[in-house]
Amino acid sequence: MSNTGSSPSVGPLDRAWPEQLAHGELRLLREWLDFLRITAVNKLAGLTRTQAAATPWPTSPYMSILGVLKHLTAVERFWISIVGGGATLPMLWETDDVNAEWRLSEHDTPAAVTEAYRAEWTLSGRALDGRQADDLAARPVHDEQRTVRWILTHVVQETARHVGHLDVLRERADGSVGE
């Protein structure tokens, strides 16, 4: 059953800035990724499903807060778990439908989408346990190899870009602004 009422969906998560006197490149990348992940989830906090599923831009008919979080879940699954760590997990998007991970079903409630995204964080962490920045990814993409450093930097960049989208979507949903 979908949450279409006016009751809030999920509460905000506590967030900490990455260590300023950072030691260890991968540690810093992981801390920035954690910071951005929590920021993304907090953009959903307190919204109803109707607000979180709204697609206010005609030129981007699938871009909703829930859609962005589903996309970020799929990005982490592919880049960190499958490519970076070599996990044998199913893909979260179909290759013949470029919008698959953005599409919502009635099961995509704020709580369900947040839970799936947070579960992916755990899988991502496990996939890269013991890996070093210079290590090659477990799987090439289009016959091109990447390092673990490249993969984490790419996912940080992708998440940060979409947090910007979430800022605007959240402001549009209920007027809330800020990090």
Residue 146 lies in a domain: yes
Domain assignment present for 10: no
Residue stretches of the chain with pLDDT short of 50: 1-8
Domain count, the chain: 1
How many CB atoms within 10 Å of residue 44?
A: 26
Confirm whether 168 is domain-assigned. yes
Q: What is the 3-state secondary structure (H, E, C) of 19-87?
A: CCCCCCHHHHHHHHHHHHHHHHHHCCCCCCHHHHHCCCCCCCCCCCHHHHHHHHHHHHHHHHHHHHCCC
> Is 100 domain-assigned?
yes
What was the pLDDT predicted at 96?
Answer: 83
For position 5, what pLDDT does the model report? 47
pTM score of the predicted model: 0.91
- pLDDT score for 6: 45
Q: Looking at residue 9, what is its pLDDT?
A: 67
CA distance 146 to 56: 36
DSSP 141: B
What CATH number should be reported for the domain holding residue 132?
1.20.120.450
Please indicate, yes or no, if residue 166 is contained in any of the structural domains: yes
**pLDDT score of 97:** 84
16 occurs within a structural domain = no
Give the pLDDT score at 111.
Answer: 95
Q: Which pLDDT belongs to residue 95?
A: 75
Q: Which domain holds residue 147?
A: 28-174
